[in-house]
Homo-oligomer: A and B are copies of this chain.
């Protein structure tokens, strides 16, 4: 049944349950709506239906300082949560785009630059409450930090993109704000050198908290946007955390590794203002791109490969990107093998859109040929549906479809997302 798109603000778990149950009875599609910062079409309503806006369910229900966990409603943003936690010396260690909400972050299994140290949403959620299509309110796990009690419903829902249920409560693991941190930056003659340093850093056993790689085009964008004069060559940025002595020791070890791989201009900052200035370069990378093409849109790729393939993947991609008429920059979470390109295109020019799509596809297929994934952290949505079978095989997709059909027999939960439409079982 196709119906108009009806936005609904919800106030409570019980209300969500009633809405969902009613929609199930009448076979009306539901699209849960968080911060809407996702870029793979997760919040589109291809069949109309009810869009449940979770922004009013944004309270902090309980903070357990000694357990280092917090229970929140899904509509709260990660930045607001961290503001609340700061006076307690705690933080939630995921940093996707500003505006992302905890519920949406669970739904897309997101991560960010800190994942190399703290993992993704998969690793930082203790339990969930979820409203299923039949209106059941399911608690997925106890509040214990670890458990072997039955199927891991928590992880099943994380990354399910609203296709299995609506998340109404999240219990998150928190981390201590590090005593000290050092931010460092270093340049390399080639992407391969930079990637080799990321590998050697990971293999050194050092627990770096961030390793971010930018190509020369990205650095150029930053220079234009911020009036900087950074060397326009491949650049790595690091963050080291821990006690003061340990953060410094790690910095020195990585400085040595960088020197062994043709690294130059190793600069680091410990002073809070200097760190902020240095890190701002990376943080505003996406916005800097628009300084080069102010009226364009960005298509952002999101492939991720085993670390040893990262250099080759980026090198092969850059041949295509550099030869393209479109402006493309590279930003990688290099410690995880996750690599984004920002492809700038004019949305009014069909050839532009097709070229952006072609480049994205080239990178996905190259990553898949290296045992990688089409999406490291942005999710499937509608954008990556076409690549899933090649990545995982039809048997895995059939299994997902069976689970989906078992929990949502009327297919009302965010239909058209994640599972390719042609999959039968």
Contacts and interface: CB of A to CB of B under 8 A. Distances in A.
Nearest to A142: B373
A150 B393 contact: no
A20 to B, nearest CB: 13
Q: Which residue, A149, A159, A164, A393, has most C-beta atoms of chain B within 10 A?
A: A149
Interface string A185-207: 00000000000000100111101
Report, as a range, how many residues of chain A touch the other chain. 35 or more
A155 to B, nearest CB: 3
A113 interface: no
Interface in A347-368: 367-368
A384 interface: yes
Interface stretch (A63-71, A262-270, A277-285): A63-71
Contacts of A1: none
Contact of A306 (B143, B245, B249, B308): B143
Given A145-B304, A147-B304, A399 B136 contact: yes
A18 interface: no
Contacts of A156: 151-152, 155-156, 403
A388 interface: yes
Contacts of A144: 304-306, 337-338, 367, 371-373, 376
A297 B248 CA distance: 52
Q: How many copies does the complex hold?
A: 2
Contact of A109 (B148, B205, B407): B148
A384 B150 CA distance: 10
Contacts of A122: 152, 155
Interface of A is mostly: loop
B375 A148 contact: yes
Nearest to A400: B151
A150 B419 CA distance: 8
A177 B336 CA distance: 19
Contact of A138 (B132, B148, B175, B396): B396
A377 interface: yes
A405 interface: yes
Interface string A392-422: 1101111110110111000000000011000
A326 to B, nearest CB: 25
A166 interface: no
Considering residues A64, A145, A307, which has the most beta carbons from chain B within 10 angstroms of its beta carbon? A145
A330 interface: no
A425 B110 CA distance: 32
Contact of A139 (B67, B136, B395): B395
Contacts of A46: none
Interface string A117-145: 00110110000000010001111111111
A84 interface: no
Contacts of A373: 141-142, 144, 146-149
A55 interface: no
Report, nearest first, the 9 A-B pairs whose CB atoms are least far apart: A155-B155, A176-B205, A406-B406, A66-B308, A147-B373, A67-B306, A143-B371, A144-B304, A136-B395
15 contacts: A64-B308, A69-B306, A120-B148, A138-B399, A139-B396, A141-B392, A143-B372, A144-B367, A144-B372, A146-B377, A147-B373, A148-B380, A151-B418, A176-B204, A245-B245
